[in-house]
Structure 1
Amino acid sequence: MPQVLVLNASYEPLGVVPIRRALILLLNDKAVSLEDSDVLMRSATHAIPAPSVVRLKRFVRVPYRGSVPLTRRALFARDGGRCAYCGAVATSVDHVIPRSRGGAHAWENVVAACRSCNHIKADRQVAELGWRLRHKPGPPSGLAWRIIGTGHRDPRWLPYLQPYGADDALARIEGRTSA
């Protein structure tokens, strides 16, 4: 199901919604389409291009959001889908300081790991194995991470996310830089 980027009246990214919700916003004259996708939405009498980016007509006040929520999808996006220990394709989540030894389930203690490294590490600490992390884990920052962390990315969204740290986020996801 295609997803649509929703921007506030001030062009601040608010979130990602299903195409159906975006169409309802457009048809109720609550938003305007800034970018259209290649998909054509048809009814009995009309055919309109499906939106890819919509901007609300009225400013919506958003309470302070704090940090990006720690989800599996956001973690894999932060680590670029690569193992923090060996660089292979990551398939699991690992706690640097194991939870059995008092480690927290927090951005600073969680990394993406491949099945092999996660199995070998088990409930030991990285120093006990003589391993090193490829990058220091930490929370992602910037509004763009709220969007990119959902796993839905459309190239048409990039110009609207760049002022909010999208270039840094995408560079980390694609593995062009380390933490």
Structure 2
Amino acid sequence: MGRKVLVLNQDYSAFSICSVPKAFLLVYLDKAELVAESEQFMLRTVSAEYPMPSVIRLHRYISLPYKGVMLTRQNIFKRDGHHCQYCGTTDDLTLDHVLPKSRGGKTSWDNLTTACKRCNSRKGDYTPEEANLKLRQRPFKPTFLVFLREFSGSLEQSWMPFLTKKEKAFK
């Protein structure tokens, strides 16, 4: 049961993604309500059958001072589609500082990109222009909604109304 459930805050804004068992527990304990259920799957016990949650809404509003995407290696890879941003390969991927750290480059969304070991080694302590390499996509910091919508893997159709707020395009 590796399916995921979209969790909405009380105001119907996207809050997070959780597992089906966690979502079912929140609904069962009356901490959340079922907004949308899976059309294909049901949860079954020995004596009962329950709809499998697809979208749930929390009964209490949870205030998040900053709802951003954590800067992690896997999130950089997701943002870049698990492709080297110089040559496009999917083999031996690492992270590359576009402006090298030795030249004052920061470890940030705007300066980290996915690179294969070969391109990263070729680039070395140079900028992409100095190493005669061209970035396929400029690094950017995705917003929470953009990250959920574009990079979180498979999205359920029932999630789309809650993930389609107007935002700036990054590509």
Specify if TM > 0.5. Answer: yes
Instruction: Please tell me whether the aligned partners of residues 74 and 149 of structure 1 are also in contact (alpha carbons under 8 angstroms).
Output: no
CA shift, 1:84, in A, is 1.7
**Distance in 2 (alpha carbons) for counterparts of 1:54 and 1:155:** 13
Q: Which residue of 2 aligns with 1:106?
A: 108
> Please, which runs of 5 or more residues in structure 2 have no aligned partner?
none
CA contact (8 A) 1:11 1:55 kept: yes
Q: Contact between 2:123 and 2:133, CA under 8 Å: does it hold in 1?
A: no
The share of aligned pairs that are identical, in percent, is 34
Tell me what 1:119 maps to.
121
CA distance in 2, matches of 1:152, 1:130: 33
In the comparison of the two structures, how many residue pairs are matched? Answer: 167
Q: Is the 8 A contact 1:92 1:114 kept in 2?
A: yes
TM-score by length of 1: 0.78
Structure (1 or 2) with the greater helix fraction: 1
CA contact (8 A) 2:54 2:156 kept: no
Tell me by how many angstroms 1:126 deviates: 1.5
Gaps of 5+ in 1: 173-178
Distance (whole Å) between structure 1 residues aligned to residue 112 and residue 87 of structure 2: 15
Q: CA deviation at 1:43?
A: 1.4
TM-score for both structures, normalised by structure 2: 0.82
Shift of 1:66: 5.4
The 8 Å contact of residues 73 and 149 in structure 1, kept in 2 or not, is answered as no
- Mapped to 1, the partners of 2:166 and 2:66 lie a distance apart of 14
The residue type equivalent to 2:141 in the other structure is P
Q: Following TM superposition, where does structure 1 have runs of at least 4 consecutive aligned residues deviating by more than 4 angstroms?
A: none
Q: How does 1:17-96 map to 2 (within 5 A)?
A: 17-37=18-38, 38-58=40-60, 60-65=61-66, 67-89=68-90, 91-96=93-98
CA contact (8 A) 2:4 2:19 kept: yes
